[in-house]
Amino acid sequence: MAKALDALISEGVSGRRVLVRSDLNVPLDGTTVTDDGRVRASLPVLTKLAEAGARVIVMAHLGRPKGQVDPKYSIAPAAQKLDELADVPVKVASDVVGEDAQAKAEALQDGEILVLENVRYDPRETSKDDAERQEFAAELAALTGDNGAYVDDAFGAVHRKHASVYDIAQKLPGYLGDLVKKEVDVLKKVISDPERPFVVVMGGSKVSDKLAVIENLIGKADSLLIGGGMVFTFLAAQGYSVGGSLLEKDQIDVVKDYLDKAEAAGTEIVLPVDVVYAAAFDKDAQNEVRPVEDIEGGEIGDSGLGLDIGPESAKIFADKIKSAKTVFWNGPVGVFEMAAFANGTKAVADALVSSDAMSVIGGGDSASAVRNLGYSDDQFGHISTGGGASLEFIEGKELPGVVALGA
């Protein structure tokens, strides 16, 4: 049985160095953090430990530097944002487990936070070789001295069998951070004991990325609302022509099978009845609303592509959401970054905001979409900090970082 953070606090952390795996994998524009949601989500556990007297050492990754030191993937901008938001002192090491990290870890005082450089700068972090990961985990653990502890508070990384997520739990006494515990509790309820009607909104570009999720939800969800680029494979499976829209032809037969299985299992799959069809993938492109049974029949013809669900579809999706008691949403239903193709995603978000349902946004692009469209986190029931992790949980997969702690 996994131990929660409060158990560690009650044991006493004053004067102890505690290694915390946080999620600081924030989007950057150069060195500017464009969405600090993950930093803010990491703050409560770090602050809780620091205020209890712990000497906190933060491990985190940013991007995919592939085991090389690359300045554009430095953790420094995220650490700076953490320092701006925190009420306790934050220091930054210029390396991961090298001389600077060792010296600054040794010099930490009670209530201070040290952020290590990007753990993915070390190729052993993501190595497929167990011995290499174990070696790196041992070096990370050594930063805590003789009486250290490990806290996993990075839900966005728990689906990775990486040294700072999985192997470290074999080197130090491990505890579930509050953020990870809440994520697991919320997603367990969604998948195992949802209040009904249970409605799932699935978007994003490729249906192949979501097949396992869709398969696991058939028979569990009452309604599956499908949008985004993935919808065109569903429409093609029903015999519709989709112009130049994103289409995975090799998945059409799989989708046909899912449509049949869903009908037999009592899960309603709701597809758009109209789409916003554009002449090009461009914010200023000519566009028109087309019914799905005649997408190519307008002025744009067969060379265009669908970039959003249409207004009638948005109303149908909104009504389904408003009638639900539990809603899980993963993936925008249109190209929300372009104003002309953001209305469908806005309609889904508006419906969630006005709904009484328990709403869970499954991280990733969905979380970015609602923030970039001007919504605040507290307008929704729960915004997951881990897109990939939440999807794998909904798929029914075991998450290595959670398993390592016995949860």
Instruction: State the pLDDT confidence band at 318, using cuts at 50, 70 and 90.
Output: very high
Residue 406 counted as domain residue: no
Q: Is 298 annotated as a binding residue?
A: no
104 and 227 fall within a common domain? no
Residue 402 counted as domain residue: no
Q: Is 16 annotated as a binding residue?
A: no
142 and 239 fall within a common domain? no
169 and 191 fall within a common domain? no
Give the type of residue at 170.
Q
Boundary-marking domain end, from 131, 153, 179:
179
Residue 404 counted as domain residue: no
Tell me what pLDDT residue 308 has.
98
* Closest to 65 measured CA to CA, from 37, 96, 32, 105: 96
Which of 259-273, 278-292, 393-407 shows the lowest per-residue confidence on average (mean pLDDT)? 393-407
Q: Is 210 annotated as a binding residue?
A: yes
- Whole-number mean pLDDT of the chain? 95
Q: Is 120 annotated as a binding residue?
A: yes
**Using one digit for the tens of pLDDT, what is the confidence trace for 343-394?**
999 999 999 999 999 999 986 788 888 888 899 888 999 988 887 888 899 9
260 and 217 fall within a common domain? yes
165 and 235 fall within a common domain? no
Question: In the annotation, is 219 catalytic?
Answer: no
232 and 309 fall within a common domain? yes
287 and 366 fall within a common domain? yes
Q: How far apart are CA 92 and CA 101, in angstroms?
A: 8
Boundary-marking domain end, from 179, 203, 232:
179
**Using one digit for the tens of pLDDT, what is the confidence trace for 142-177?**
999 999 999 999 999 999 999 999 999 999 999 999
DSSP element (H, E) containing 114: strand 113-115
Boundary-marking domain end, from 127, 155, 179:
179
Residue 45 counted as domain residue: yes
90 and 236 fall within a common domain? no
Question: In the annotation, is 38 catalytic?
Answer: yes
Tell me what pLDDT residue 319 has.
97
195 and 113 fall within a common domain? no
Average pLDDT of span 280-302:
97
367 and 276 fall within a common domain? yes
Write the CATH number for 369: 3.40.50.1260
Residue 405 counted as domain residue: no
Which of 32-36, 40-44, 347-351 shows the lowest per-residue confidence on average (mean pLDDT)? 32-36
Tell me the residue range of the domain where 153 lies: 5-179
Q: How far apart are CA 296 and CA 289, in angstroms?
A: 11
Mention every residue, 6+ apart, whose C-beta is less than 8 A from residue 236.
242, 247, 249, 252, 255
Tell me what pLDDT residue 1 has.
67
Q: How far apart are CA 163 and CA 160, in angstroms?
A: 9
Question: In the annotation, is 128 catalytic?
Answer: no
209 and 304 fall within a common domain? yes
Q: Of these residues, 38, 133, 290, 320, which one is catalytic?
A: 38
Q: Of these residues, 364, 386, 387, 401, which one is catalytic?
A: 364
Average pLDDT of span 168-194:
94
Q: How far apart are CA 328 and CA 399, in angstroms?
A: 19
**How many domains, the chain?**
2
66 and 166 fall within a common domain? yes
Residue 170 counted as domain residue: yes
Question: In the annotation, is 30 catalytic?
Answer: no
Greater pLDDT, 138 or 373: 138
Q: Is 25 annotated as a binding residue?
A: yes
Tell me what pLDDT residue 163 has.
98
Q: How far apart are CA 45 and CA 148, in angstroms?
A: 16
Q: How far apart are CA 320 and CA 392, in angstroms?
A: 25
How much of the chain, in percent, has pLDDT values that exceed 70? Answer: 99
Residue 11 counted as domain residue: yes
**Using one digit for the tens of pLDDT, what is the confidence trace for 327-349?**
999 999 999 999 999 999 999 99
**Using one digit for the tens of pLDDT, what is the confidence trace for 46-97?**
999 999 999 999 999 999 999 999 999 999 999 999 999 999 999 999 999 9
Q: Is 382 annotated as a binding residue?
A: no
Q: Is 83 annotated as a binding residue?
A: no
Q: Is 24 annotated as a binding residue?
A: yes
Q: Is 395 annotated as a binding residue?
A: no
Average pLDDT of span 282-295:
98
Tell me what pLDDT residue 208 has.
87
Q: What is the pTM of this model?
A: 0.87
CB 13 within 8 A of CB 55: no
Decide if pLDDT at 407 tops 80.
no
How much of the chain, in percent, has pLDDT values that exceed 90? Answer: 86
Q: How far apart are CA 389 and CA 399, in angstroms?
A: 7
Residue 358 counted as domain residue: yes
Q: Of these residues, 3, 40, 182, 206, which one is catalytic?
A: 206
